[in-house]
Structure 1
Amino acid sequence: MDSSRRDRLGASWLESKVFAWSDDPTPKRYAIDLACIFLFLVTATLVGFAFFAFDMEACIVVTYVLAVLCISLLTAKRAYCLVASALSALLYNYFFTTPRFSLTAWGRAYPATFAVMFAVALIASTVAMTLRRELHASHTAYRRTKIMLEADEAFRRCETRREIVSAAGAQLSRLLDATVVWYCDEGEGFLEQRSFSSAGASPTPPVIELSMARRALEDGESVGVGTKLFPSASGLYLPLRSGTDVVGVMGICLMGAVPLPAERNEAEAVAGEASLALARARALEEREKAAVLAKNEQLRANLLRSISHDLRTPLTAISGNADVLLSDGEDLSAKKREGLLRDIRSDAMWLNATVENLLAITRLENGEVHLSTTTELLDDIVEEALRHVSPDSEFHDIEVEPSRDLLLVDVDARLMVQVVVNLLNNAVAYTQVGSRIRIMSRADANMVVVRVEDNGPGIAEGDRSRVFESFYTASHALADSKRSVGLGLALCKSIVEAHGGSIGVDAVEPHGCAFWFTLPLHRMENGDIDHAD
């Protein structure tokens, strides 16, 4: 054990054994003081007999003076020092002067010896008691200063209102060695909410004075014992503020004991620091709310900018093609008219899909969509999704590899079809004409893995971690040839995670990418097998 640790342990022992000694005038304390006087004087007398036996009478006087010094260090009143000094002189006269065992003394030097002995013992004990009291006061001031510094440090570490209240209650309880009760209104009316007790607090239950706490809350000032307002109360009630608002009251249950002015000032200082911490936490919460609002405004601006750009292109194409058909439709060939009509249908379907994705992801993020799950065969979901894929898929080679096993999942079929459709449409939109797109499904332990793979240009490694964010496109730009507001993949992520699965994207060698998602596998029972048949 190093020296610094030994010093700390020694200081802790000294505090617990000496400085924790109470000077309160209680019957128990009177009995202890009298016992100290008796034990030390008896011990000094016994030691004196030993010195007398060895003809060391001069040491006997010093022994009695030492006993009086010890008594002055352990007793509470100066009267005890006076009594101990007088008794030590009498005991020395009775046991160790000639004639022994009487209160008379034959030598002419004895009266002077008794007087000097009494004076030395009294003065030394008085000085020792004064030093003890000053040391005790110094230690008390040090302890309170330490608590104040620890309170300041604790408040700086706190981030929430509950943490600040807990730190304030704990520090006030330590400061005054009393139980502290927190009063506030948390939707159930103004009442006691929490209590804090230190090791030195009274074990008796605290006195709950709601009327005092309400008065402190209404006036915003300290109320109770030691103050001008209701000094006959059993506790001290300190309001805590958050800015200009009083948020609660700390009730210190002193059981009627009047705190010293310094103690009350320090308690009010702790309450003041707690109020500053509450104001800081409130400002931080408001700042975070403002940051969230600013982020939402930025997202809204991004959405409007993205949608306004992406919707303008298909709307312009639809209106332009419609104008051509209206004005020159009779002069166009049947193939040309069919091409214009296909373009109109493609643009209209893209607009419809975009609006559906936007509404769906908004409902999911707001918690307005409740899953209506049923047990579905995964191959049926894939087959249904192929019926709703983009018409441009006819210019790509789409392959479906059916699962080898019977894969049943508990899903909302409509939403899960939308996930597969979005992944297929994403592959169609971002690969060149004639590309191969494969959709595969397999079981992996207790999960089902669905994979949509293409041999297109792929996605840069830096973009793969962000493709599932709302309003993000891998190109970082809004290209007319790749119409996207960055909602399809974000919607897929929300739907899959709502079903307890996960989603991701991998690179495919030599080029291309593969989007995959997982779902919990439904464990079949006998009834499920009969239903499947």
Structure 2
Amino acid sequence: MNKQRVRNILFTVSTLILSTLLAFAFEQFNLRRENILLIYVASIMLIMVETRKVALGIASTFLLVFIFNFFFTEPKYTFIIADANYIITLIIFMVAIAIMGTLTTSLQREINFSKDNGTKMELLYQMSKELLFANTKEEILRIEKLHLSSIMNRDFLFHFTKILPDDDQAFIDISKYKKEIEYATSYHLICGKNESKYAHLPIKIFPITSTKGISGVLIVNCEENDLSKQEKEFIQTSLLHMLIALEREKLSEDQEHSRLEIEKERLKSALLRSISHDIRTPLTTLQTGTSFLYESFDLIDDDMKKNLLLDINNETSRMSEFVENLLNMTRLNANQLMLHLKDELIDDILMDVNHRIQNRLGLHKLVIEQKESMDYVYTDATLLIQVLTNLIDNAIRHTREDATIQISYHKTSQDIEFQVIDDGGGIIQTDLHKIFSDFVSIDTGKGDKTRGIGLGLSICQAIIKAHGGTIKAQNNDIGGATFSFTLPSKQEVTNG
């Protein structure tokens, strides 16, 4: 006997007892027996409305007839009816109660049915809105669980093949129902309790399958009682909404996968083209310079030898930085770049940058802002030097030969902002949003020698983000471009 049936019986018995006690109270005031009958009519109507069981109402009617006859008709405390009119009255009373109770129960059932339908339609509408904005399988499943819980006061769980993990706290051992789950997903049919297949099971299995490769089931606990027709229809409708959302998400995932594959192939091609260019140019210089030195060593003066050796050194440094950029980008993409953070003196870093970049300046002028204070920045010095070197090298590549490049910095309460400023023509507005992307090299009209691999600015952004800072580019008021980035400041030491 389930809990609801026990509750209905207890409510019926309690109502009959209370109505009889109330009838005794009415009798003490010498009220007519017809009034006592009205008390019983009201109690039976209450029983039918509350329990929604016509059978309980009719059974209560028979019981109350005997109670009324025993306690309130002459001779009292017997089941003998002395007045034949009471027999007709009681029969009419029973028939009237049965008709009224049936009509009341039917009306109540229709009202509740309409109310439940309205609630379920509202839930389905709300669920559809939420699923429309769900972006992941986990979010879709969370929304579905939330709305199923609102209409089912019972255990349930989802089981999918591959696309989602099973619930951590399952109310059953899924491994025991592999055959039944396979049947539901293979034939797209509900099985389990009171269904045509596996009717003996204490569960009901709803299939969740599509042609997009989605395969799973909803398993509902029906051990105590089966699902109502309305619950079953709601579950099927809500699962259809969820399936549409899962298919949409899978389609989006497939499209993103295809886009990434295309992008990967594009990046591979760009990388191969750029590597061949960036290696070929310095190698040509190295080969030409070393060959000329070897063949004409005794024929050229010392100044020319020094210039040739300087060119060889510059191209070697360029290749070294090129390889370092590639290695760092590989480490960043694999999340393997280790930061060796400590307080570094900014003047030492700027001095190192100046030393590294001098041989590449040509006619460009580099101005480094000098400050009297000894300022520190919490950073990986090697990587910060690489960022500043890349930014200056980028300015050299994309500005006129006599442009001025300036490095400055200023402190705030939380961080230090560095700026690399040039006056060499600025950046085309349409290129500002993409200059930090991989393998993007802006055409400046300076010829093939300035193209480069297009990784320098991308690496700068990745390194600054790894430090917890930000980097941006914008055109300035002097006709050039300004690259600025922030890094955390840990301490300040000033001259005493």
Shorter chain as normaliser: what TM range?
A: 0.7 to 0.9
Matched residue, 1:200: none
- 1:289 equivalenced with 2:257 (yes/no): yes
Matched residue, 2:9: 30
Q: Which amino acid aligns with 2:349?
A: I
Q: Which amino acid aligns with 1:444?
A: T
Q: 1:392 to 1:120 in 2, by over 3 A?
A: closer
Q: 1:231 to 1:323 in 2, by over 3 A?
A: same
3-state secondary structure, aligned to 2:405: strand
Q: CA deviation at 1:399?
A: 3.3
3-state secondary structure, aligned to 2:416: strand
Give the Cα separation in 1 of the matches to 2:262 and 2:425: 36
Matched residue, 1:214: 178
Give the Cα separation in 2 of the matches to 1:416 and 1:83: 89
Q: CA deviation at 1:25?
A: 2.8
Structure with the bigger RCO (C-alpha within 8 Å, sep 6+) is 2
Deviations 1:471-506 (A, max 9, x none): 334547673364434322222222233233333345
Give the Cα separation in 1 of the matches to 2:124 and 2:297: 88
Q: CA deviation at 1:178?
A: 0.5
Q: 1:166 to 1:332 in 2, by over 3 A?
A: same
Q: 1:297 to 1:111 in 2, by over 3 A?
A: same
Matched residue, 2:61: 84
Deviations 1:251-290 (A, max 9, x none): 3223343445665565455445544543433332222221
Matched residue, 2:335: 367
- 1:131 equivalenced with 2:111 (yes/no): no
Q: Conserved in 1, the CA contact under 8 Å of 2:353 and 2:388? A: yes
3-state secondary structure, aligned to 2:436: coil
Percent of pairs with identical residues: 23
Q: 1:467 to 1:80 in 2, by over 3 A?
A: closer
Q: Conserved in 2, the CA contact under 8 Å of 1:224 and 1:230? A: yes
3-state secondary structure, aligned to 2:168: strand
- The 5-angstrom pairing of residues 99-498 of structure 1 reads 112-136=88-112, 139=115, 152-182=128-158, 193-194=168-169, 206=171, 208-221=172-185, 224-227=192-195, 230-238=198-206, 240-241=208-209, 243=211, 249-260=217-228, 263-264=231-232, 267=235, 270-271=238-239, 273-304=241-272, 350=318, 353-389=321-357, 391-460=359-428, 463-475=431-443, 479-480=447-448, 482-498=450-466
Q: Which amino acid aligns with 1:161?
A: K
Q: 1:79 to 1:361 in 2, by over 3 A?
A: closer
Q: Which amino acid aligns with 2:5?
A: P
Matched residue, 1:201: none
Q: CA deviation at 1:405?
A: 2.0
Q: Conserved in 2, the CA contact under 8 Å of 1:89 and 1:118? A: no
Q: Which amino acid aligns with 2:383?
A: L
Q: CA deviation at 1:293?
A: 2.0
Matched residue, 1:521: 489
Give the Cα separation in 2 of the matches to 1:86 and 1:440: 99
What stretches of structure 1 of length at least 5 have no aligned partner? Answer: 1-21, 196-205
Q: CA deviation at 1:217?
A: 4.0
Deviations 1:193-233 (A, max 9, x none): 246xxxxxxxxxx5x34443434444445554334555444
Deviations 1:424-477 (A, max 9, x none): 323333343444333334543343343333343334555445433333345476
Give the Cα separation in 1 of the matches to 2:65 and 2:125: 46
What stretches of structure 2 of length at least 5 have no aligned partner? Answer: none
- 1:510 equivalenced with 2:490 (yes/no): no
Number of equivalenced pairs? 488
Give the Cα separation in 2 of the matches to 1:264 and 1:163: 23
Give the Cα separation in 2 of the matches to 1:368 and 1:270: 44
Q: CA deviation at 1:110?
A: 6.1
Q: CA deviation at 1:316?
A: 7.0
Q: Which amino acid aligns with 2:178?
A: R
Deviations 1:376-411 (A, max 9, x none): 332222222222215242523333333322233443
Give the Cα separation in 1 of the matches to 2:68 and 2:254: 77
Q: Conserved in 2, the CA contact under 8 Å of 1:181 and 1:193? A: no
- TM-score (ref. length: structure 1): 0.71
Please report the RMSD computed on the Cα atoms of aligned residues, expressed in angstroms.
Answer: 4.9
Q: Conserved in 1, the CA contact under 8 Å of 2:65 and 2:90? A: no
Q: Conserved in 2, the CA contact under 8 Å of 1:430 and 1:482? A: yes
Deviations 1:298-328 (A, max 9, x none): 3344445556667777777777889999999
Q: Which amino acid aligns with 1:498?
A: A
3-state secondary structure, aligned to 1:388: helix
Q: Which amino acid aligns with 1:84?
A: T
